[in-house]
């Protein structure tokens, strides 16, 4: 699958390189009114995220609305400004926001900031970086790092990652204090911050408006135990509300289901292939077809590059007559011809296709545990969208085409799932009946979901959005592309496009976090709180995964309240001071147990880097990304969870291990 992606990428990169010369200088930074004046930086948006870039809006659930101008946003190498419209719909910033600041000469070890290996240190009373919930006064856990990808010391970002997502709709305060250089010397605070944090300024002073907003932040920090003396920098930001994050997808879902009523979705079976046992001992029948669903995209048929159609109020709307054709493929196991099979959706991998439902591991899962899996292309993040993804990396303005088309892709999957379980849906056709007329689908036990890689990352959002899925398996999963892209070996070819388009490394970090603000609407990062409320998921993690960073899964598990099945790893396997800090646990000898859970599968791969870089090269050995799904024990655990909601021990009370897949 990745080979196909790279082939398309290579052809497209040639066009990108011709348009954006890698030697082109970035457009000179504008300094419009509205840039953050507190920090000693030429970067308008730093520190980020930041309520300085919001305005009061009584119609927004948070009372705030993001208010970027084109001049504030990073320009690409051709000097093209970004259109801020999609971002300015937000009533706050991403709940998974990585905080970005620029602190020249900063040394985090000398400063004593919490590293990725010791998150607990972030909550020490004397921690040099403090994140504080302004409403509750709760200190928030994080780890801090300097961008290891930066080649220029003066353009190296300080990155502060929340160890679990910030609460939706809450405001957070950030304090940096007693920051030090490599020699242990305390770094002086930016002059503008010292001025704004000092004596009251006259109204005519240029920093007066900023001081007026900063003073309540300093007072609240002081009540939270942070002495204003010694501060290097402080600011605040508001997290987007649940409505702001999920409103678009839930709106198109609700409208589509209202239009559907009690009917089954409209579909056509286009082909039925019965396979003799000699050809395929696991799958007896392959069914393909076309599902017709209402399209909420702004172009007829919703091709790659389209975005949601919106009314004057900015909300998604259906253009009369606009439909989307979702191609689907189903694999019916031989066991279904004896006992009707359970219906399940399968989510494919990175920029892949529905045909991955015929992968060996999915066939094995179907045959061993009597599931019929159906899949449709996850448009927005499917193979046909590769050119749109590359266009988004070349121009920030194009990025909404990725998550907004992905939302339509989720709706397509929701309706395919409804067709699988509706009495007059797929089960009511000859394609899903045995020669003697017996049904091959059991529509009485609900719908399951199983996805791997991208299917795990986006799948959490689908599980949260579908009214028919109560339980799902998220294989080799994580969330928050803004966190994991730097850490993924899959991103390497796309990083080359980003290097050409946004050559400044500090700008790249801002671009990734700006991506995430709108990506939240189309991946699990924006729906994690919904999973925590009323859905159950089983997360399968490959230790040392080269493609989906383990830290992205750990943040997800903390956020949704998934319990870690222990023992997770052999003693000494992890470099962390407290492996899997902050996760609730359930010992293997207390299984079976209900609720969401995370199981770590270890193939012996070396531990991943402690920096925001991918585990590439011989030192990191075998990529275990595909190993869990090829384990019969893992498939058994998945099947029991999907059918009963219980997590069982399949590893004999020991850490789970998976054999490396060649």
**Any idea what DSSP says for residue 426?**
G
Per-residue pLDDT band at 426 (split at 50, 70, 90):
very high
Query: Do 144 and 158 touch, CB atoms closer than 8 A?
Result: yes
Residue 107, pLDDT above cutoff 60: yes
Task: Identify the pLDDT of residue 42.
Answer: 77
Structure-block tokens of residue 594: 């209900």
Neighbours of 643 (CB within 10 A): 16
DSSP class of residue 239 equals B
Identify the pLDDT of residue 23.
33
What confidence tier does 387 reach under pLDDT thresholds 50, 70, 90? very high
pLDDT for the residue numbered 19 = 36
- Report pLDDT digits (tens) over 330-386: 999 999 999 999 999 999 999 999 999 999 999 999 999 999 999 999 999 999 999
Asked whether the predicted pLDDT for residue 407 surpasses 50, the reply is yes
Sheet (strand 142-146) strand order: 99-101, 158-162, 142-146
Question: What is the number of other CB atoms lying within 10 angstroms of the CB of residue 273?
Answer: 12
In the prediction, which pLDDT does 402 show?
Answer: 98
Of 112, 247, 118, 270, whose CA–CA distance to 179 is shortest?
Answer: 112
Range 345-366 burial, b when 16+ CB lie within 10 A, else e: bbbbbbbbbbebbbbebbbbbb
3-state secondary structure string, 139-172?
ECCEEEEECCCCCCHHHCCEEEEECCCCCCCCEE
pLDDT at 41: 72
Instruction: Using DSSP, state whether 154 is helix, strand or coil.
Output: helix
Can you give the pTM of this predicted structure? 0.95
Identify the sign of the CA torsion 310, 311, 317, 323: negative
The overall average pLDDT reported for the chain is: 94
pLDDT of residue 534: 86
Q: How far is the C-alpha of 325 from the C-alpha of 259, rounded, in Å?
A: 17
Cβ pair 115, 163 in contact under 8 A: no
Which among 224, 242, 192, 245 has a CA at the least distance from the CA of 47? 192
HSE-CB for 473 with a 13 A CA cutoff: 31
pLDDT of residue 612 exceeding 90, the answer is yes
Whether the per-residue pLDDT at 582 is higher than 90: the answer is yes
Mean pLDDT within 311-316: 95
Residue range 534-549, pLDDT digits in tens: 899 999 999 999 999 9
Largest Cα span, the chain: 88
DSSP per-residue codes, 368-399:
HHTEEEEEE--TTSBGGGHHHHHHHHH-GGGT
Would the pLDDT of 175 be above 90? yes
What are the pLDDT digits (tens) for 318-327?
999 999 999 9
Percentage of the chain exceeding pLDDT 70: 95
Q: What distance in Å separates the CA atoms of residue 452 and residue 151, rounded to the nearest whole number?
A: 34
Over 80: is that where the pLDDT of 26 sits?
no
Domain boundaries, the chain: 25-92+98-238, 244-438, 446-480+523-662
Residue 304 CA to its chain's centroid (Å): 20
Contacts of 595 (CB under 8 A, 6+ apart): 536, 561, 562, 563, 647
Instruction: Count the neighbouring beta carbons within 10 Å of the beta carbon of residue 130.
Output: 24
**Token pair of 586, please?**
């359930």
Reading the block at residue 168, the tokens are: 């939706």
Span 465-515, pLDDT tens digits: 999 999 999 999 999 999 999 999 999 999 999 999 999 999 999 999 999
Q: What is the mean pLDDT of residues 174-203?
A: 97
Q: How far apart are CA 556 and CA 201, in angstroms?
A: 44
pLDDT higher than 80, residue 18: no
Helix ranges (H only) for 181-319 are 191-197, 208-223, 242-260
Query: Residue 381 has what pLDDT?
Result: 97
For residue 327, what pLDDT is reported?
Answer: 98
Lookup: tokens for 513 = 């976090």
Structural tokens at position 148: 């290891």
* Phi, psi angles (nearest 5°) of residue 426: -55, -40
Beta strands in 318-457 (DSSP E): 323-333, 342-347, 371-376, 447-452
pLDDT at 630: 98
Among 233, 93, 61, which residue's Cα sits nearest to residue 166? 93
Note the pLDDT tens digit of each residue in 136-165.
Answer: 999 999 999 999 999 998 899 999 999 999
Token readout for 490 is 């899959």
* CA–CA gap between residue 43 and residue 29 (Å, rounded): 7
> How far from each other are the two terminal CA atoms of the chain, in whole angstroms?
16
pLDDT above 50 for 27? no
With vertex at residue 87, the alpha carbon angle to CA 81 and CA 91, rounded to the nearest 5 degrees, is 150
């Amino acid at each position: 699958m990745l080979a196909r992606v790279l082939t398309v990428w290579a052809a497209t990169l040639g066009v990108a390189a011709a348009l954006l010369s890698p030697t082109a200088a970035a457009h000179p930074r504008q300094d419009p009114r509205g840039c953050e004046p507190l920090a000693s930086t030429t970067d308008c948006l730093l520190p980020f995220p930041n309520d300085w870039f919001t305005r009061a809006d009584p119609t927004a659930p948070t009372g705030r609305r993001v208010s970027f101008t084109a001049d504030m946003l990073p320009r690409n190498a051709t000097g093209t400004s970004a259109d801020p419209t999609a971002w300015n719909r937000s009533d706050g910033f991403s709940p998974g926001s990585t905080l970005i600041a620029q602190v020249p000469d900063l040394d985090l070890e000398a400063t004593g900031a919490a590293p990725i290996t010791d998150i607990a240190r972030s909550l020490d009373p004397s921690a040099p970086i403090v994140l504080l919930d302004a409403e509750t006064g709760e200190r928030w856990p994080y780890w801090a790092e300097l961008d290891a990808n930066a080649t220029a010391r003066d353009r190296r970002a300080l990155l502060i990652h929340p160890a679990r997502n910030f609460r939706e709709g809450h405001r957070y305060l950030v304090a940096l204090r007693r920051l030090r250089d490599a020699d242990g010397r305390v770094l002086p605070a930016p002059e503008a911050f010292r001025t704004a944090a000092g004596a009251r300024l006259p109204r005519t002073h240029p920093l007066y408006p900023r001081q007026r907003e900063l003073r309540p932040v300093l007072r609240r920090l002081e009540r939270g135990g942070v002495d204003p003396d010694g501060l290097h920098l402080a600011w605040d930001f508001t997290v987007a509300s649940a409505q702001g994050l999920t409103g678009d997808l839930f709106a198109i879902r609700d409208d589509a289901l209202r239009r559907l009523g009690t009917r089954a979705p409209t579909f056509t079976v286009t082909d039925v292939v019965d396979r003799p046992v000699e050809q395929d001992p696991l799958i007896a029948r392959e069914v393909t077809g076309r599902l017709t669903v209402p399209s909420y995209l702004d172009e007829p048929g919703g091709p790659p590059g389209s975005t949601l159609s919106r009314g004057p109020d900015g909300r998604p709307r259906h253009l009369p007559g606009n439909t989307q054709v979702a191609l689907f493929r189903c694999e019916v196991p031989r066991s279904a011809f004896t006992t009707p099979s359970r219906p399940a959706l399968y989510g494919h991998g990175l920029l892949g296709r529905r045909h991955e439902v015929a992968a060996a591991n999915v066939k094995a899962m179907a045959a061993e545990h009597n599931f019929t899996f159906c899949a449709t292309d996850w448009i927005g993040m499917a193979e046909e969208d590769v050119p749109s993804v590359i266009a988004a990396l070349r121009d920030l303005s194009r990025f909404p085409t990725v998550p907004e088309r992905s939302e339509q892709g989720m709706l397509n999957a929701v309706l395919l799932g409804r067709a699988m379980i509706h009495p007059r849906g797929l089960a009511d056709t000859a394609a899903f009946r045995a020669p003697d007329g017996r049904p091959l689908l059991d529509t009485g036990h609900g719908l399951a979901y199983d996805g791997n890689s991208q299917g795990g990352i986006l799948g959490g959002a689908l599980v949260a959005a579908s009214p028919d899925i109560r339980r799902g398996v998220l294989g080799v999963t994580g969330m928050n592309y803004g966190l994991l892209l730097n850490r993924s070996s899959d991103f390497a070819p796309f990083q080359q496009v980003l290097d050409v388009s946004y050559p400044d490394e500090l700008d790249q970090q801002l671009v990734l976090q700006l991506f995430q603000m709108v990506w939240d609407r189309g991946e699990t990062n924006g729906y994690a709180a919904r999973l925590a409320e009323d859905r159950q998921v089983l997360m399968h993690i490959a230790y040392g995964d080269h493609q989906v960073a383990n830290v992205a899964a750990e943040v997800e598990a903390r956020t949704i309240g998934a319990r870690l099945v222990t023992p997770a790893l052999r003693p000494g396997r992890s470099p962390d001071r407290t492996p899997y800090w902050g996760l609730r646990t359930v010992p293997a000898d207390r299984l079976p147990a209900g609720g969401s859970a995370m199981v770590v599968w270890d193939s012996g791969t070396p531990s991943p880097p402690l920096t925001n870089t991918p585990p590439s090269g011989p030192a990191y050995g075998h990529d275990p990304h595909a190993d869990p799904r090829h384990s019969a024990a893992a498939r058994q655990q998945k099947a029991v969870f999907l059918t009963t909601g219980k997590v069982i021990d399949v590893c004999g009370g020991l850490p789970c291990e998976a054999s490396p897949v060649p």
